[in-house]
Structure 1
Amino acid sequence: MAYLICEKCNHYWQIKREEEFWAFHICEECGLPLLYVKDFNEYRKITKNVPESSVNSQTYRKSDNYWRFWRGGRLIFTAGALMTAAGILLTVTSMAWGITIVLLGIILMVLSVPLTRAREGRGIDWRKGHEGELIITNCLRRLPEGYHILNDIQLPGAYGNMDHVVVGPTGVYMIETKSYSGNYIVKGDRWFLNDELRKEEVQSPSIQAKGNAAALKEFLESRDIYVSWVNAVVAFLSESCTIMEEDEHCRILKPCQVPEHIMGSRLMLGESKVKRIVDALRKHASEVW
């Protein structure tokens, strides 16, 4: 029997299997991610705490910016509606310039609609991404002492950021978090959305993860730090993902499976090399814990 724990509300729920985590991974009372543990003995051994700065990641900032635009669009629409109503009232009272106010109000409302819709959709996508990052961050707390978690890494010259990097005795892991909705079929590097309404090939998270892992290995080598490889992992938050062809260079896992995958690998790095890697990446990460 496993457990889901909300440390803020001091509640816990017993679940029979790991898959139930996906039906109930956010606390309904406080909205924070639940911590998945195999048993209470594992929970007592957890020493890592999620820093408060986790809420200020690049994904969170992007989400917040889109919602700011969305609220701005709503204000513009409201202003346009008020101007239109005022213009109609002035027109009724025989003021000729009231029609000008009506037209300006209508223009404002028309312009605000595409702005609001576009920003709302993007805001929802980025918010789901931020939620996914918090969930995997919470799962990574189960890693024992000796493992270091670096979040939101932006390497020099890189186009995008890396969601999470774990460095420990079993190696270096680049973790890409994807919070997709719908059913997916994965054939190596090819990803297909397989929903009732849509069936199409989509951008491959595994290619992105392997690209980031290669960039991270190259960055370490530029600092005279050599590792055999950087492990690529996609932490996938969709309830349904069917893997038709396993990719040996990129594992696709549920967030609660990631710690076991990391700890189950063979020992590769000594304590001194782990420290060198963490020190090299520290200033490029938003937080290290």
Structure 2
Amino acid sequence: MKVLKSTRNSHIEANKRRNLAVVVLLLVLSEFIIALGARITSWLLLAAVLPVLAVPIFLRRYDVWKAGSTGEKSVVRELQGLDDSYYLVSSVVLPGSRGDIDQVLLGASGVFVIETKNYSGKVVCDGDNWYRIKRGTRDAVRTESLSKQVKRNASQLRRFIHDTTQISLHVNPVLVFVHPAVHLELNNPTVPVLRPGELAGFIRGFESPFRLGEEQLELLGESIREASAR
């Protein structure tokens, strides 16, 4: 598999680094204020507490982004078994889009939009309705429709491909759950829902009515990469 854009410079990695940097900055600021307070006034000592109180907030954000990063990297590792007729573009941000696409995979078997979820606990799917039951609880909490999300991303990519290359094709949405402690309860999902170990086999065995040549695949991959880099 040829990687045209990796996860290294993705917005997830950027947010992970940013939140960790804020944590370090807050701790350094607190220590600096304490050092000043020891020589000047006691109110500075009180001011030193405020940065420390903010640390857990940014640590939680860091953990969320780190989990997302870990999930995307695990999917990339699973796809490494594909041969060089496949092209991978990670962390794709299309022009005019509000969010990013975790991975776009292009190959002779089709074009795929892959959405990665690093959820733990029980996840219930009923068509396009999705619910989470976190570990230690019994209450099902309805979440944003994960299938609608990945289908929306696939539709945006299909329009982008048509507008930029005049190639009309179907883009296949795929959901991948990577956390080892997730329990999936699926009832008529509207998109393929897979675990990481199933992904490469699913891609290889997929039969698309749209067969693209190597030059077309490389052209599409470069167009998506360049658009995402702007």
Q: Which TM-score applies when normalising by structure 1?
A: 0.70
1:132 is matched with which residue: 41, 46, 71? 71
Q: Report the number of matched residues.
A: 223
The structural deviation recorded for 1:113 is 3.2
How far apart in 2 are the matches of 1:52 and 1:151? 5
Tell me the equivalent position of 2:154: 213
Residues 9-47 of structure 1: CA deviation (Å, up to 9, x unaligned):
xxxxxxxxxxxxxxxxxxxxxxxxxxxxxxxxxxxxxxx
How far apart in 1 are the matches of 2:34 and 2:122? 41
How far apart in 2 are the matches of 1:274 and 1:166? 10
Tell me the equivalent position of 1:92: none
Tell me the equivalent position of 1:102: 42
The structural deviation recorded for 1:119 is 0.8
Map 1:237-248 → 2, pairs under 5 A: 237-238=178-179, 239-248=181-190
Larger radius of gyration: 1
The structural deviation recorded for 1:230 is 0.9
Residues 187-211 of structure 1: CA deviation (Å, up to 9, x unaligned):
2222222132362122332222111
Map 1:160-175 → 2, pairs under 5 A: 160-175=99-114
Tell me the equivalent position of 1:233: 174
Work out whether residues 132 and 177 of structure 1, in 8 Å CA contact, stay in contact via their aligned partners in 2. Answer: yes
Secondary structure, in 3 states, of the residue corresponding to 1:145? Answer: coil
Work out whether residues 210 and 232 of structure 1, in 8 Å CA contact, stay in contact via their aligned partners in 2. Answer: yes
How far apart in 1 are the matches of 2:4 and 2:216? 25
The structural deviation recorded for 1:277 is 2.1
Tell me the equivalent position of 1:9: none
The structural deviation recorded for 1:264 is 0.9
Tell me the equivalent position of 2:31: 78
Q: Which TM-score applies when normalising by structure 2?
A: 0.87
How far apart in 1 are the matches of 2:149 and 2:162? 20
Map 1:240-279 → 2, pairs under 5 A: 240-248=182-190, 250-267=191-208, 268-271=210-213, 272-279=215-222
Deviating beyond 4 angstroms after TM superposition, the runs of 4 or more aligned structure 1 residues are 48-53
1:120 maps to amino acid: L
Unaligned runs of 5+ in 1: 1-47, 88-97
Work out whether residues 50 and 137 of structure 1, in 8 Å CA contact, stay in contact via their aligned partners in 2. Answer: no
The structure showing larger relative contact order (alpha-carbon pairs under 8 Å, at least 6 residues apart) is: 2
Tell me the equivalent position of 1:283: 226
Work out whether residues 120 and 183 of structure 2, in 8 Å CA contact, stay in contact via their aligned partners in 1. Answer: no
How far apart in 2 are the matches of 1:55 and 1:198? 37
Map 1:40-189 → 2, pairs under 5 A: 48=1, 54-84=7-37, 86=38, 98=40, 101-109=41-49, 111-189=50-128
